[in-house]
Amino acid sequence: MCGLTGFLSTPAPADELTAAVRAMSSAIVHRGPDDDGHFVDAANGLALGFRRLAIVDLSAAGHQPMTSASDRFVMAFNGEVYNYEAIRAELPPQAYRGHSDTEVMLAAFEEWGVEAAVKRFIGMFAFALWDRRERRLHLVRDRMGVKPMYYGFVRNTFVFGSELKALRRHPDFDADVDRNAVAAYLRNLYVPAPLSIDRGIFKQLPGTIVTVTPGSRSLQTTTYWSAKEAAERGVARPFLGSEEDACAALDTLLRDAVALRMVADVPLGVFLSGGIDSSLVTALMQVQASQPVKTFTIGFHEDAYDEAKYAAAIAKHLGTAHTELYVTPQDALDVIPKLPRLYDEPFADSSQIPTYLVSVMARRHVTVSLSGEGGDEVFGGYRRYFEGQRLLRAFRPVPPPLRRALGHGLTRIAPSSWDRLFRAARPLLPRRFREPQAGAQLHKLGRVLSARELSELYFEVMAHWNDVVPGVAVPPPDRAAWPRLDSVQLMMYLDQITYLPDDILAKVDRASMAASLEAREPLLDHRVVELAWSLPLSMKVRGGQGKVILRRILDRYVPQSLIDRPKMGFKVPIDAWLSGPLRDWAEELLSERRLRDYGLVDPAPIRHAWAEQLAGRGRWQDHLWAVLMLQAWMEDRQQTCSGRQPNDHVRRPTVERIQTATPPDRSRPLALPDRH
């Protein structure tokens, strides 16, 4: 796991190119504190910069950028190709300088070509490959979008890198804030690909190769793996065995995916939340490990959000070496000023806070940590999958014209007017109708009633702020590009190509790399994803429950009594914090003056939501967190542009409360630490 950056411009002196790319790579030193390297091709205006976090082959033989044996290819590579030993065995014998996956990848490009080689890779990766013979620069991103890559033109220079902060260090960088990206962010709580918050800079789509040549402003994009094709192929060629056969096949494949991700020349562990996905990954690690696996958990003092006690029980059952940290509001306060710099663009998944804290904690013990990301999107874990079905079934008997008319009627009245009406009628209403956020809920119901199919309902369920960026509207999705799937499968597909890479994986990548920790996701091995698409939907979503087949496999390793409970997710008590220890900070950023100063949003609906949140009349915490993260990001941007020091003066997250349990003997029960 590392960081890369670079640019392709007009020919220039080598020392000039080197100085520019060094400045860019210095911005991402956190992604690779162990080593740095630079390569320039002055005649072609090409510069590559690299920061290394040494995981496999810790010697100088793993130094990057690395040149192939024939000198044709030069590569800066972020990520891991886990099956590099198997690929090496397929290649003609040659003298290798070391035993890194990078060197094997370069040999594969020489033997098979870029696209054919990439199709053989099992792993997570984003890399820049300069073909000196063909004078072509290839940017490649992994199939599921685990590792990031940004790119774009600034003036006449093509810039690229793992994080936006590196691109912003190029002397020609002058991009403005993209208001379309702001509107899309406020709707989704993240900036969806291919947009970035900087106008003219884009996120590379997963499974693609972007190619550019010197002197050209045209880009060639090749899709070497398509989520759409994987979904359609799986549904067209379904798994033909029984559910027991499917469990056996998936168990075997998951064991292999986990085993591949346990290969490292440094200590490794696993994030254990106590949910199905992380518990299964932990179990599969432990049964293949020669010693107790190191597990790491974050807990909250608020019982409604705390899963640490469940993780502790699972750790005890599996016999892991368990470490946990309980998060306080002060921990959140300490992290919040860092968030704009960690993510480079507004990002409002509030679980970014515990994800960063658990990464900092884990990094004190290990350099690599496995995690359970992907289980919900690949195996149907979200409630919206089966609740959406229920809603559509409930409304289907109502004629569509009547449904749409009713929906239109509900949305014609402003949410604030609905709220006043419900407050006045509250004493007369049954308890179940005393909704504190009636206006927003009725508007969402109105849009749901207008939905013709589950995919339309999906976008309404996922939406947060609509029409709060003056003069900008989020365009409707391109339905023509969607695969032909039934309603629930289509929702899972949409999550896999949007929410998963742009929210979940972006969150884990930035949080873990900020702590110089490599995160690995075995449930997103593309072989697992392809097998999952071939399984009948009933093996994933059934009887109002998701991840059916993962539950059955986990039963082999962990008693159901430790798992059977409502899904909580990695939630944070933002609602309590906003009305308590974060209130003054939020009040300042959400003041009408500050909202107007930055000029990105209409202050009226935001001030209304803030007032309702404080009065306890609404649950607007997710909406407000999105605006707060936008405002904090703008504040950091203005401070940086003005030359003032960024607001990064707070101390690092406290770790004195961490307690570690290491089992003295695996034949005896694990003595877990007491929790605060």
2, 4, 74, 457: which one is catalytic?
Answer: 2
* Length of the chain in terms of residues written: 676
Runs of H (alpha helix) within 239-351: 243-260, 276-286, 308-318, 329-335, 339-343
Q: Which of 205, 165, 204, 162 is nearest to 53 (CA)?
A: 162
Asked if the structure places residue 470 within a domain, the reply is: yes
Per run of 10 residues, the mean pLDDT along the chain (length 676 residues) is 92 97 97 94 97 82 92 97 97 90 97 98 98 98 98 96 98 95 97 97 98 96 98 96 98 98 93 94 97 92 78 96 88 89 96 93 96 97 80 73 74 69 68 56 67 71 88 85 89 96 98 96 98 97 92 96 72 84 93 94 95 86 96 90 46 29 31 31
Annotated catalytic, 2?
Answer: yes
Contact 628, 589 (CB under 8 A): yes
For residue 477, what pLDDT is reported?
A: 82
Q: Which of 447, 473, 469, 443 is nearest to 458 (CA)?
A: 447
How many domains does the structure of the chain reveal? 3
Asked if the structure places residue 10 within a domain, the reply is: yes
Q: Which of 447, 444, 424, 443 is nearest to 434 (CA)?
A: 424
**H/E stretch holding 323:** strand 321-327
**H/E stretch holding 180:** helix 179-188
Q: Which of 193, 254, 304 is nearest to 575 (CA)?
A: 304
For residue 665, what pLDDT is reported?
A: 33
Asked if the structure places residue 55 within a domain, the reply is: yes
Contact 654, 323 (CB under 8 A): no
Asked if the structure places residue 136 within a domain, the reply is: yes
Look at residues 206, 225, 244 and tell me which one is the last residue of a structural domain.
Answer: 225
Asked if the structure places residue 251 within a domain, the reply is: no
Q: Do 465 and 590 belong to one domain?
A: no
Q: Do 474 and 587 belong to one domain?
A: no
- List beta partners, residue 137: 130, 212
For residue 643, what pLDDT is reported?
A: 56
Q: Do 34 and 170 belong to one domain?
A: yes
Q: Do 455 and 602 belong to one domain?
A: no
Instruction: Report the alpha-carbon distance of residue 421 to residue 426 in Å, rounded.
Output: 8
What residues contact 566, with CB distance under 8 A and at least 6 apart?
A: none
Asked if the structure places residue 600 within a domain, the reply is: yes
For residue 452, what pLDDT is reported?
A: 66
Instruction: Report the alpha-carbon distance of residue 5 to residue 7 in Å, rounded.
Output: 7
Asked if the structure places residue 183 within a domain, the reply is: yes
For residue 666, what pLDDT is reported?
A: 29
SS3 71: coil
Contact 82, 71 (CB under 8 A): no
Q: What is the pTM of this model?
A: 0.89
| Residues spanned by the domain of 594 | 574-641
Q: Which two tokens stand for residue 198?
A: 């900087």
Instruction: Report the alpha-carbon distance of residue 123 to residue 203 in Å, rounded.
Output: 19
Asked if the structure places residue 633 within a domain, the reply is: yes
Look at residues 457, 488, 519 and tell me which one is the last residue of a structural domain.
Answer: 488
The CATH number of whichever domain residue 135 belongs to comes to: 3.60.20.10
For residue 128, what pLDDT is reported?
A: 98
Q: Do 475 and 582 belong to one domain?
A: no
Residue type, 484: R
Instruction: Report the alpha-carbon distance of residue 87 to residue 96 in Å, rounded.
Output: 13
Look at residues 467, 488, 509 and tell me which one is the last residue of a structural domain.
Answer: 488
Q: Do 153 and 16 belong to one domain?
A: yes
